[in-house]
Structure 1
Amino acid sequence: MSKMIFVNLPVRDLAAAEAFYTALGGTVNPQFSNETSKCMVLSETIYVMILTHARYRDFTSRPIGDAKANSHALIALSAESRDLVDETVARAVAAGGTADPNPVQDHGFMYGRSLEDPDGNVWELFWMDQAKVDG
């Protein structure tokens, strides 16, 4: 079995976050979703748990940070092509995200852009020409 990753994020507006992560390419897994959380499936091994602040507090006693004011993490997600990077950013912006809070990266063999979800969490989308990387 492949390792799986579950990214747990506190969100202010569950519906807005769901729209954003759907535009990012996710689908809702109803088995692990309710009125306080949604399990957004990005791939067979990548899941984003978006949790209302009240639900997130069930998992930690630490204060919830403000991702719009402070950087907590940069989460990178691969794409199959340069065009798909741009298309995904456009869909996510239409769903309430902000494009390119960090500079666009274009190194020829690798292309990346970033986007910010409605709560300020930054995702990096990138494409890499594996043939050029492998040499």
Structure 2
Amino acid sequence: MPKMIFVNLPVTDLARSTAFYEAIGGTINPLFSNEQATAIVLSDAIYVMLLTHDFYRTFTKKDVIDAHRTSGVLLAISCDSKADVDAMIDKAVSAGGKGDPGPKQEFGELMYGRSFEDPDGHHWEPNWMAPQAIQGGAEALTKAEAPAGK
């Protein structure tokens, strides 16, 4: 069985967050959803678990961050093309998210990335990489132009 990732995010308004993630292309898995959590399927291997703050606190004794003020994680997700990156940003903004809180990342024809924040401030970075960038790794990116804004 391939490994899966379940990204657990604390949210202040479960219905609003569920609608947001559906608007950017996710689907609800009702088997893992209830009044405290919504399981959003982004791919066969990636789930986003939206958890009310009270439910989230049952998994940790740490304070729940306010992602509008504190960065705890940057969530990168691959896209099939540069156009798909832009489309995801457009969907996120249309659904109430914040577009481009970070700089665009452009490495010529090797890589392209942008970012958005969901309504709770969680920072996502959709990106596209050309096959030669994936195969060439960091060396290929080092030879490409520096990211815009850096």
Q: TM-score range by the shorter chain?
A: over 0.9
List aligned pairs for 1:10-25, cutoff 5 A.
10-25=10-25
In the superposition, the TM-score normalised over structure 1's length comes to 0.95
Cross-structure match for 1:134: 135
C-alpha distance in 2, partners of 1:112/1:23?
20
Number of equivalent positions: 135
Structure 1 residues not aligned, in runs of 5+: none
Aligned-residue Cα RMSD (Å) equals 1.1
Which protein is bigger by CA-based radius of gyration?
2
Cross-structure match for 2:120: 119
Q: CA deviation at 1:134?
A: 2.8
The answer (yes or no) to whether the contact 1:16–1:96 under 8 Å persists in 2 is no
The answer (yes or no) to whether the contact 2:111–2:133 under 8 Å persists in 1 is no
Please list every run of at least 4 consecutive aligned residues from structure 1 whose deviation after the TM superposition is greater than 6 angstroms: none
Identity %: 55
Q: Which digits, 9 at most, give the CA deviation of each residue in 1:40-93, with x for residues without a partner?
A: 000011000000111111111211111111110001000000001001110111
Cross-structure match for 1:57: 57
The residue matched to 2:58 in structure 1 has which SS? coil
Cross-structure match for 1:92: 92
Structure 2 residues not aligned, in runs of 5+: 137-150
In the superposition, the TM-score normalised over structure 2's length comes to 0.86
Higher RCO (C-alpha 8 Å, min separation 6): 1
Structure whose residues are more often helix by fraction: 2
> 1:61 and 1:132, CA in 2 relative to 1: closer, same or farther beyond 3 A?
closer
| 1:46 alignment partner AA | I
Cross-structure match for 1:8: 8
